[in-house]
Chains A and B, each alone.
Chain A
Amino acid sequence: MNLAQGVQLVSFAILALMTLGAALGVVLLSNIVYSAFLLGGVFISISGIYILLNADFVAAAQILIYVGAVNVLILFAIMLVNKREDFPAVNSGSWSRKGATALVCFGLFALLGTMVLVTPWSLDLSGAIANTVLTIGQHFFSDFLLPFELASILLLIAMVGAIILARRDFIPEKSSKAETETPVLTLPERPRTLASVGSSNKED
């Protein structure tokens, strides 16, 4: 075993420990903010494992998308709503609940484990690809064209949905019956007018 292999082994051990530890922390900690930050740790450790597998582009993309976008959005959502309240512990006496959870988790683990062991992986041991970006791009536009386009359509749908949810003025106003109800439970925000660009210009 030469120097490079030793370094690789040690880094893999550290990264695996980090991934498992952080993932357990995400699940087991009661503070949701800690869980969200540890999720970022899991993503970064996984990107380290990608680097060990010579997948440099995938590793960088993992950091950019999962840490930089997904995890930041999760944290954003938590911090905008979190009031730092201590949640009362759920009825911990019932063993049936814990038993069912354990059963489901173990079942999933067994399923995934069998899948990993049974699938005939086509391993390519010829060494690192010189230009991973080029190879990935060529695959995207030849034999993986359909999944690639489907994924982009899915993202487009999600984006349109998010825009419609964010711009509530496209949703038609409720009938006047709703206005007669007591406005106790409305959100403390400015009432929104039916805004369209042309009409607001005229008003100005």
Chain B
Amino acid sequence: MDSLLEAIEINKSYEGHRALSDLSIQIPRGSIYGLLGPNGAGKTSFIRIINQITAPDSGKILFDGHPLKPADIARIGYLPEERGLYKKMTVGEQALYLCRLKGLSQNDAKTRLKEWFERFEIESWWNKKIEELSKGMAQKVQFIVTVLHKPDLLIFDEPFTGFDPINTELIKSEIRRLNKEGATIIFSTHRMESVEEICDHITLINKSKKVLEGPLKKVRDDFRTNTFKIAYTGDAEKVTSTISQNFELIDDHAWHDHREATVKLPEGTAPNALLQSVLPIAVVDHFEEVIPSVNDIFIRMVQKGSAS
């Protein structure tokens, strides 16, 4: 696998508190990578190490095949969770300043900013002060500044807080576009559901340790339990007794004008068997596999971890 970023056995402690223990992660080039875990799991510590804000106590970070070095920050874009802008500075001046700190020349920064401002239709904001903008507007400016220097690696720490649903969609589509253009993306969030549709790889971190990693599809497949949901219209008693003879009936309840049953099949049994037993006695309105959400998986992993 071709990794853009590889963390090897990273350890980091603060006074009396372990932030990361032996964390190894490979982030494939061109992926959208979800770094998931509850608050305080160590996500931000890890991201700060990638951004060279702090250094690990031990371990190594390889970026594009070489050990991470100060010059690499020009190739990384970082939107921190704790973010903000100078309130008294104008939007344009501030955007220019931040881009120049990333190493862009005055002219390059100006040309690219113009493009982005046109794309977001915010040209009229150029001479406004940040304090005159709403929070969502300021976040847009912040997003532009993060991606403007066309970094190879983009890191978003809780990116969607502060955005309304419309802007969230806008940002998501921009992120997908940047990804298509070649950028590798890291999402860090504790709101697992917010990245399920966008990430292709995930790592779950809990209490400084990696508990799970891999391509999102594989992770989900691993957690499939061969459980199906079947919605039907017909005699509930007859249907449930028929199902119970051959399979494990987890739940059966009325839902609007029909009933819905959740059934777990023995391993290796195809869903056809369940359908075949129900079809002669009821009308099947809907049939689907119950696929665990990342949230479910995470809760299951954490519970397993604390039980063992």
B partners with A: no
**B interface residue numbers (CB < 8 A to A):** none
**A interface residue numbers (CB < 8 A to B):** none
